[in-house]
Amino acid sequence: MSKAGTVAATSALHLLEQYREGTSFFWSSPQHTLLAQGERIRWSAMEVSEGSTTDSMGAVNVTEQKRNEETQLFINRMEQLMEEGRRSGQTKPIVVGAIPFDPIHSSAELFVPEKIQWAEPLSPDSRASVEKRPAAVGCEVREEPAGAIFQQSVNNVLLDLNQGDLHKVVLSRTLHVTSQALVNTHQLLRNLFRDNTHGYTFAVPMTNLSLAKGYITTDKRASVEEGNETHRTYIGASPELLVTRKGSKVRANPLAGSAARSEDPAEDRRRAEALLASAKDRHEHAVVIEAVAEALRPLCKQLSVPAEPSLIQTRTMWHLSTEIHGELADVNTSSLELAFALHPTPAICGTPVQAAREAIREQEPFERGLFTGMVGWCDSEGDGEWAVTIRCAEVEGKTLKLFAGAGIVAGSTAEAELAETSAKFGTMLLAMGLDSSVSSMKEE
């Protein structure tokens, strides 16, 4: 085995305790647990096409053709990263990290690690042994945008839905949380790992802001300035698999249509049954499934799409779920190529995609960055897993920025969509040790 390679691990808990903020990528899925440590090669890229234009607000407009060209360039750069890993002595390099919602306008956070450790997924019994403690203390919370402004944005989109060809738009908002002490990112990861028994728990080391321009480097730990002990980490627990590839086998598990859970068992079951019977949510789900299947069919010689959705649950939410299975037509199609073929799905952007992007740019007062992008890994053989980057936060020092979104379709109401985003914040708030119904918020 080369110096930069895979080593045996004792357990998922062992990997969890080896995690180090700023130098480790952590990944937990229903199939396995992964800890990637050290950076053999770091790539953080953000480039704007020469063929792009800017509007009066300074936002960059990119045609779908140009976006497709940039996507192929992105995939080519990932292959370059793999090749750099081989040249550095790795026999089977792997790239780990996160890709933003809009890779043209925001920076990716990807690297080839020095050391990789794998373990089985954490068992339910072992999960209960993880001690849960607060990860932040004395927190102040501020909304962006304020609830009333978010509701107005929803109403603006509903008007557009009634007047044109726009069918769905996903609008998001953020919570800015300030702790009195440094956020304990490792404890936050432990809490997420403990509470989220299904899905994909992750922690991604981010580039230092002073080095955030696009580059590929072989300098180890170039993303952290000398003497700078404050790290940026993107962390979360996503319930949604974008795509996984193992050999010729492909699986995707899109989610769309959601309801907040209740602590009362009878009410919780009523909400789940109401979600499954909801015409509005079933329609929203069907739009996503159709788009995912349409994207995968040209790449698969066989594709199985269930006729009806099922229910899955997290600690805070119910979701309509459809698990899609396929077999690749070309075994050289990598998990990353599959992920880009699907991204962005209507579950996190809308439909039609270009019109939904424009609505998001008009209505959201912030850049999404990694939120609603994809997080995961891809190896040199093309195998990999990519989850949709939701139920997440960016952590730096004493601050956290939480993200949540809701899909706006015909039949949506502003009040219900605001409530849905509030419920989705619950995953991160509970992991931080805060009440999920935080109410002491200051308007932006």
| 4, pLDDT greater than 50 | no
Strands (E), 240-383: 241-246, 249-253, 255-260, 300-304, 310-313, 317-321, 324-328, 350-351, 374-379
d(CA 43, CA 85): 12
Catalytic residue among 240, 284, 385, 394: 240
Task: Answer yes or no: 240 catalytic.
Answer: yes
pLDDT score at 61: 59
Q: What are the pLDDT digits (tens) for 144-155?
A: 999 999 999 999
Residue 382 maps to a domain = yes
Residue 1 maps to a domain = no
Q: What are the pLDDT digits (tens) for 292-338?
A: 999 999 999 999 999 999 999 999 999 999 999 999 999 999 999 99
Which CATH number fits the domain that encloses residue 262?
3.60.120.10
Looking at the DSSP bridge assignments, the partners of residue 311 are 320
pLDDT score at 326: 98
Domain count, the chain: 1
Task: Answer yes or no: 132 catalytic.
Answer: no
Contacts of 425 (CB under 8 A, 6+ apart): 175, 402, 404, 436, 438
d(CA 377, CA 32): 12
Q: Alpha helices of 117-202 — where are they, by DSSP H?
A: 124-128, 147-163, 185-195
Q: What are the pLDDT digits (tens) for 273-287?
A: 999 999 999 999 999
How confident is the model over 107-130, as a mean pLDDT?
Answer: 88
How confident is the model over 186-207, as a mean pLDDT?
Answer: 94
Average pLDDT, the chain: 88
Domain that holds residue 223: 6-442
Catalytic residue among 84, 168, 284, 417: 168
d(CA 349, CA 391): 15
Residue 109 maps to a domain = yes
